[in-house]
Amino acid sequence: MTKMLNAGILGASGYTGAELIRLLDQHPHVALRALGAHSNAGQAAQAVFPHLPDDIPMLQKLEDMPLADLDVLFAGLPHGTTGNILPELLQQYPGLRIIDLSADFRLDDPNIYQEAYDAPHPAPEMLGEGIYGLSEIYADSIADARLVACPGCYCTAANLSLIPLLQNKLIQSQDIIIDAKSGTSGAGRAAKTNLLFTEVNQGLNAYSIGKHRHMWEIEQELGKAAGATLKVSFTPHLVPINRGILSTSYVHLAEGKTVNDLHIALQEFYAEAAFVRVLELEQSPKTQNVFGSNNTEIALFPDRIEGRAIILCAIDNLLKGASGQAVQNMNIMFNFPETTGLNRIALYP
């Protein structure tokens, strides 16, 4: 009989926390033992999220959580906060494995963190210890990790699209343009004027133009794939939907390569990937096709400009872009099939 994992969640009152609760409550090898939510401590989880079942643990402060009894802890706290907490937890509880959904351990260089987040890194000595949790790319390293840093949602879509092509020298590493659009849940659950219904509905706007914090993370991982330092042009947009990301990348083909070569390479790279579907050439992905699932759709089109290609990727930002990928990483870490607890067909329509 497979041992049940005792799991806890920090930041359980946010959107990613709610998705983790939903996924872990249905996972056959997980017992959800503790939920941390500082501002809502003492409340039932249903008081914050009425859709949850009655047997979910109460919300607690971190200091009241039974951390010594846990096998795995999911950290869904804001960047800056996580880095102040996790180093001590890793030292105090040597048997605990942590899956961090914040940005604090995704970047390798504290100077880049400072540039991206406009603040010094809270634990620079820990950088490099967290394994970047892009499941399809780093599964071997994730399997043995104590600390996994789950990628940002935009980064997941862009990197899954482009890393195999850069690794195989099929596209040029210069002049990559990434245009991405996300639903409003990507901005979190906190009340913000720019996310009010009347501010978002019937509209579309770009934000953090030329300086979005995920840009540095994308560059780091694409640079590793290319074996060279690179810079990308990345512009995110907010669209009036609850969830979903559609990322569109414009690239130069490597000399002598065709869009068909790129398509074959992606099909081969993801042939055994349970959650990545490479569509037929010139078949467009849709966020509706991955809504509520951990799935990814990737597609390629030839650009009308000779020597260029257009690569599209659709994911659910709260699942493959956050909580679903976190559970996928947990499955890898504890030697469960990657699909365990995640085999959900997308909600449609």
Catalytic residues, by residue number, are 153
In Å, what is the CA distance from 181 to each residue of 49, 125, 160, 203, 244? 26, 34, 16, 12, 8
Name the β-bridge partners of 293: none
3-class DSSP state for residue 338? coil
For 225-271, strand residue ranges (E) read: 232-238, 245-252
Name the β-bridge partners of 83: none
Name the residue among 300, 141, 294, 158 with its Cα closest to residue 220. Answer: 158
As a whole number of angstroms, the distance between CA 43 and CA 265 comes to 50
Q: What is the CA radius of gyration of the chain?
A: 20
For the chain, strand residue ranges (E) read: 5-10, 30-36, 59-60, 72-75, 97-100, 131-132, 147-149, 176-182, 205-206, 232-238, 245-252, 276-278, 296-302, 308-315
Name the residue among 20, 75, 7 with its Cα closest to residue 52. Answer: 20
As a whole number of angstroms, the distance between CA 238 and CA 246 comes to 11
**Half-sphere exposure in the Cβ direction for 17 (13 Å, CA):** 27
Which strands form 97-100's sheet, in the order they lie side by side? Answer: 59-60, 30-36, 5-10, 72-75, 97-100, 147-149, 131-132
